[in-house]
């Protein structure tokens, strides 16, 4: 008998900083693309504990209480999001629910309602578009806005950010934190400075001094492993990072070293791109009871493959690479991929590729708690005709 499945959200991977400049967005009819010589005005909006806050808003009895959105401990679930009341106990997203309840015995678990969160996210974005056409969503709960062109003639980017926050509070009864600065890197960091329900501004005259004092752990794009490596090299602050040459950083960290070199000097030329193309589309399932039999796993992949196919169709995308994710009962995770010469299009094709990867990579008899499928190297499946060599 198959174990019941706990549906998860679509992967919501925020854009990681890249050493490459992103392609320019297409200008709108009002041509809001800023002149290159202008100091840009960038806002980063980050909703506060978004999933949990929506649940507390919709269900008043949850307000002021520690809430975890996710699967129950008895169902071997994980925390998707935690309210600020829960975070006081050290509870955070991706934490096993059993560990969360051990930290807070009166923690309230709420089943995720991802369609609800998507609907609220659309309402938030509608507010953004009142102020600029240059909106780049990173996930359901955060986005960059370029307000260099003052669409409503408000007078300042800080005032625009405050108006947006006020409207979110008044119209949706939710709170958002905002960061305002001259580029995406600084705006992202600024939005974290005064959370929750805060507004921070890093001006052009203060940018480099601010970066020099910033702890390396607080650099956007520097994860825990990289921070540990940097500290081992004597890099603890932005000032330490700034002492390294671009060649030295590239040698130590690869291509992303060029990014570290630039942001240490408060430089980030990536535009706010409203037409940012998704890099992957996928779905995954955690199981109430670990799967051990290969037939159980194949049956689970049927549903996951169907969901991935539906999402590909919804986003009008095909892809060349399929990746299978396997998480074992001890939380060790492996991913295996296969890239084809032709686009992956059909539901059955997604399923068969996933099963093929499963069959040769799964450890026999070892319990599995999660399976996932992702399609990447995406293309827009516009019809085309192949030219004949003899015409």
Catalytic center residues: 142
Q: What is the rounded distance in angstroms from the CA atom of residue 148 to the CA atom of residue 33?
A: 8
The number of beta carbons lying within 10 Å of the beta carbon of residue 30 is 10
Structure tokens at 249: 């950083």
User: Token match 């297409």: residue?
Assistant: 26
Would you call the peptide bond into 301 cis, given omega within 30 degrees of 0 as the criterion?
Answer: no
Q: What is the rounded distance in angstroms from the CA atom of residue 146 to the CA atom of residue 143?
A: 10
Is the CB of residue 318 less than 8 Å from the CB of residue 378? yes
Q: What is the DSSP letter of 47?
A: E
Is the CB of residue 235 less than 8 Å from the CB of residue 155? no
Structure tokens at 250: 């590239």
Q: How many residues does the chain have?
A: 391
Would you call the peptide bond into 80 cis, given omega within 30 degrees of 0 as the criterion?
Answer: no
Is the CB of residue 292 less than 8 Å from the CB of residue 299? no
Q: What is the rounded distance in angstroms from the CA atom of residue 33 to the CA atom of residue 25?
A: 8
Crossing angle for the helix pair 347-361 and 294-314, to the nearest 10 degrees: 140
The number of beta carbons lying within 10 Å of the beta carbon of residue 318 is 19
Is the CB of residue 257 less than 8 Å from the CB of residue 246? yes
Q: What are phi and psi of 112, to 5 degrees?
A: -60, 145
């Amino acid at each position: 008998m198959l174990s019941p499945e706990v549906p998860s959200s679509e992967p919501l991977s925020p854009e990681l900083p890249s050493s490459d400049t992103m392609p320019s967005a297409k200008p709108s009819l009002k041509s809001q693309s800023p002149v290159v010589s202008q100091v840009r005005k960038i806002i980063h909006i980050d909703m506060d504990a978004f999933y949990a806050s929506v649940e507390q808003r919709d269900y008043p009895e949850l307000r002021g209480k520690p809430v975890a959105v996710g699967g129950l401990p008895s169902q071997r679930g994980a925390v998707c999001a935690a309210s600020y009341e829960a975070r006081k106990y050290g509870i955070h997203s991706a934490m096993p629910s059993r560990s969360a309840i051990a930290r807070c015995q009166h923690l309230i678990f709420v089943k995720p309602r991802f369609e609800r969160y998507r609907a609220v996210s659309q309402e938030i974005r509608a507010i953004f578009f009142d102020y600029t056409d240059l909106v780049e969503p990173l996930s359901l709960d955060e986005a960059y806005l370029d307000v260099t062109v003052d669409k409503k003639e408000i007078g300042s980017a800080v005032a625009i950010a405050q108006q947006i926050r006020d409207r979110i509070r008044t119209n949706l009864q939710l709170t958002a934190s905002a960061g305002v600065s001259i580029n995406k890197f600084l705006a992202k960091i600024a939005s974290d400075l005064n959370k929750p329900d805060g507004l921070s501004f890093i001006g052009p005259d203060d940018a480099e001094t601010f970066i020099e004092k910033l702890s390396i752990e607080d650099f956007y794009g520097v994860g825990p492993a990289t921070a540990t490596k940097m500290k081992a090299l004597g890099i603890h602050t932005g000032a330490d990072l700034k002492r390294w040459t671009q060649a030295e950083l590239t040698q130590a960290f690869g291509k992303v070293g060029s990014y570290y070199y630039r942001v240490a000097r408060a430089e980030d030329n990536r535009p706010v791109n409203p037409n940012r193309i998704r890099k992957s589309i996928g779905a995954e399932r955690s199981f109430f009871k670990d799967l051990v039999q290969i037939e159980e796993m194949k049956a689970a992949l049927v549903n996951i493959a169907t969901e991935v196919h539906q999402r590909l169709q919804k986003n009008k995308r095909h892809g060349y690479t399929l990746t299978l994710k396997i998480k074992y009962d001890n939380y060790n995770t492996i991913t295996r991929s296969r890239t084809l010469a032709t686009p992956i299009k059909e539901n059955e094709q997604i399923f068969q590729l996933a099963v093929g990867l499963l069959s040769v990579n799964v450890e026999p008899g070892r319990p599995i708690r999660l399976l996932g499928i992702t399609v990447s190297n995406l293309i827009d499946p516009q019809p085309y005709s192949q030219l004949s060599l003899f015409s």
